[in-house]
A and B are shown apart, each in its own frame.
Chain A
C-alpha cells in the first residue's frame, strides 16, 4: 500500500536561512512521481516541485530543491533563503505509475519563518 510520512508536524526557521522538510514514502511500484505542495492559511494548495522516480537529477525550482534519495525512499524539500511568505503548511505527495488518478498526501509540516 502507498504511504507518505512527514515526521515533522512543525518547523521553525530564521528568515534568510535554509530549511529541510522531510518526506519518506513507501511503494513497491518502480514508477512513481513525488510532489510537494504549499498551503497558506488561505487554503489553496500551490504546486512547488515534482520528482519522477526515473529522473536522474534532483529537481529544482527557484528556491526549492528536492533531495531525492531513492534507496532510502526519501524526498526531502529544501527551501533556501527562507522568506516570511514561506510560512505555510507543506505537503509531500506521491502518485504511482499504475495508480493513474490517485495522489496520496502526507499529513503535512507547518513551517514558521521568523523575522
Chain B
C-alpha cells in the first residue's frame, strides 16, 4: 500500500466554501507535515505535527486550519480561501522531526480557488 495517501487529488472550490484535505500515512511515523507548492515558487512548509502536537506554524493565514487526530491522520481545513491559495498541497511524514529524518510525501492535492 502507498506510504502516504492524500484525498482528494483535485479540488475546485469557491471563496466562500469550506472544504478539508485529508492525509493518511501507513509508515508508522510520528511526525506529519503540510507543504504548499505554488507555481514557480519553492516548496513552503505550513505546519508540522510531532506526536499529534503542533510544533510549527509557519505564519500561515488562519483560513488554513490543521488537525491531527492521531499520528496516522492529518487534515487541512479550508475556509474563505483566496485565488492566490490555488496550489499543490503536499503532505509528508517522517519517523520524527530531526536532522537526518527523511520525509516521505504523498501525491498532493491540486487546489483551485475560483
* Interface residue ranges, A against B (CB under 8 Å): 4, 31-33, 35, 37, 42-47, 50, 52, 91, 93, 95-97, 100-108
**Does B106 lie within 8 Å of A44, measured CB to CB?**
yes
**Does A46 lie within 8 Å of B42, measured CB to CB?**
no
| CB closest residue in chain A, given B109 | A43
27 residue pairs of the A-B complex, CB under 8 angstroms, read: A4-B42, A33-B99, A33-B100, A43-B88, A43-B108, A45-B43, A45-B92, A46-B105, A52-B99, A52-B100, A91-B42, A91-B43, A93-B43, A95-B99, A96-B99, A100-B55, A100-B98, A101-B45, A101-B50, A101-B56, A101-B97, A102-B45, A102-B56, A102-B58, A103-B103, A105-B42, A106-B42
Interface size of B in residues (CB-CB distance below 8 Å): 27
Say how far B2's CB is from chain A's closest CB, in angstroms: 9
User: In whole angstroms, how far apart are the Cα atoms of A50 and B101 in the complex?
Assistant: 9
| CB closest residue in chain A, given B98 | A100
- Enumerate B33-79 residues with CB–CB distance to A below 8 Å: 33, 40-43, 45, 48, 50, 55-56, 58
User: In whole angstroms, how far apart are the Cα atoms of A95 and B55 in the complex?
Assistant: 16
Say how far B7's CB is from chain A's closest CB, in angstroms: 13
**Does A107 lie within 8 Å of B100, measured CB to CB?**
no
**Does B90 lie within 8 Å of A50, measured CB to CB?**
no
**Does A97 lie within 8 Å of B56, measured CB to CB?**
no
Say how far A34's CB is from chain B's closest CB, in angstroms: 10
Say how far A35's CB is from chain B's closest CB, in angstroms: 7
